[in-house]
Amino acid sequence: MQNSPTLRLPLIAHVIVRLDVGGLENGLVNLVNRIPSSKYRQAIVCLTTYTNFRDRIERDDIEVFALNKRPGKDIGTYWRLWRLFRDLRPDVVHTRNLGTLDAVFPAKLAGVPALVHGEHGWDVFDVAGTNRKYRLLRRVCAPLIDREIAVSRHIATWLVRDVGLRAESIAQVYNGVDTVKFRPAEGPRASLPRDGFAPPGTFVVGTVGRMAEIKDPLTLARAFVQLCKAAGPDRTRLRLVMAGDGPLREGVNRALAGTEAQDLTWLPGRRDDIAEILRGLDLFVLPSRNEGISNTILEAMATGLPVIATDVGGNPELVEAGKTGTLVPAQNLDAMAAAMQSYFDGSVSAKAHGAAGRRRVLEEFSMDRMLAQYLDIYDSVVRPPRGELVRG
């Protein structure tokens, strides 16, 4: 007896440069873990490779491909992409950020019926998004893309005003945060995973992020040194945690070396226990020179922490100055040190700002809300009929 035909579910192929620790990558994993397997199939295509960050994918039905792209313009990558798209036959290819944008050309040549592109922020080589060549590439690719996604209002405005895209082609979708994983400590601040570093009575300032130029960890390190000097004998109550790795880590070490802050700072490098570390903080600081939408700000707010952030990119869309935290000018260590001092001495209520931030995340930045918006976009671009009949 012949099996009855079943519907082949549409396939979404997510294209990224590398599957490794990062805000964009974390957002991707959060999304693919939650897209219903009863509605879409999914695959992740890495232009270069992937690390054990792949293990954060909680499902066994999502295949991850590595194309091993060489640095620079590796023409062979486009051929490998075309062949992979021809084999997979995705219904949607979803590229993210400038580094994957030109994948739309092999996707179109392979007959992919729908293309989605997301802009999540700027790269270290174009911090302000002013590079004319990159803007031109975005304009050239735009007619091939069915839907553009901006993760902040700031990026959406930039795409229209500076890049020249049509406003009606852009959907603005905020990242969501796991409010169960990222939650406040029960009772007093939790212990940090470093014995004796922050005993009761200390005030712990912290950040999480790549130690790269665009994240500007040096300004935070120098501002903390300044705070310690200003605090006098009270500096023994201060602590700084800077989780993350990158090319500026040694520079941060040098900025702290020989100062009053050196023995009060912990640089644990890359960590897999960020939720636990956040619960061990009293104050979160993000010193970036530019941001799309910061996952770490959302995670800190979900943890019930007040947030000091630079007044750049999408940060003001998350941090309500005077309600959930404080905004300071980028690369201004005096303003950053003064803001940290206001929470340390109690002139600004860390507890009130942290509680307000948690409430805001629950109301406006849930995973369910993000998932629903992405599903609406995918549903709108998938060409009917959805999939094809296959026989079991």
Residue 387, pLDDT above cutoff 60: no
Residue 288, pLDDT above cutoff 90: yes
Q: What is the pLDDT of residue 386?
A: 47
Q: What is the pLDDT of residue 209?
A: 92
Of 197, 190, 145, whose CA–CA distance to 170 is shortest? Answer: 145
CA distance 121 to 119: 6
Q: How confident is the model at residue 111 (pLDDT cuts 50, 70, 90)?
A: very high
DSSP-assigned beta bridge partners for residue 286: 309
Q: What is the pLDDT of residue 6?
A: 59
Q: What is the pLDDT of residue 272?
A: 87
Residue 360, pLDDT above cutoff 90: yes
C-alpha distances in Å from residue 163, one per residue of 128, 287, 363: 12, 26, 32
Q: What is the pLDDT of residue 129?
A: 80
Q: What is the pLDDT of residue 127?
A: 74
Structure tokens belonging to residue 279: 């619960």
Overall pTM > 0.85: yes
Q: How confident is the model at residue 391 (pLDDT cuts 50, 70, 90)?
A: very low
Structure tokens belonging to residue 328: 């300071």
DSSP secondary-structure letter at 141? H
**In the predicted model, what is the mean pLDDT of residues 100-127?**
91
Residue 3, pLDDT above cutoff 60: no
CB atoms inside a 10 Å sphere around CB 367? 17
High-pLDDT (> 90) share of the chain, %: 88
pLDDT in tens, 32-78: 999 999 999 999 999 999 999 999 999 999 999 999 999 888 899 99
Residue with tokens 């007959």: 111
Lowest mean pLDDT among 122-131, 176-185, 199-208, 235-244: 122-131
In order of start, what are the domains of the chain with their CATH numbers?
Answer: 5-176+367-391 (3.40.50.2000), 203-364 (3.40.50.2000)
pLDDT in tens, 187-225: 888 999 999 999 999 999 999 999 999 999 999 999 999
Q: How confident is the model at residue 392 (pLDDT cuts 50, 70, 90)?
A: very low
pLDDT in tens, 128-146: 788 899 999 999 999 999 9
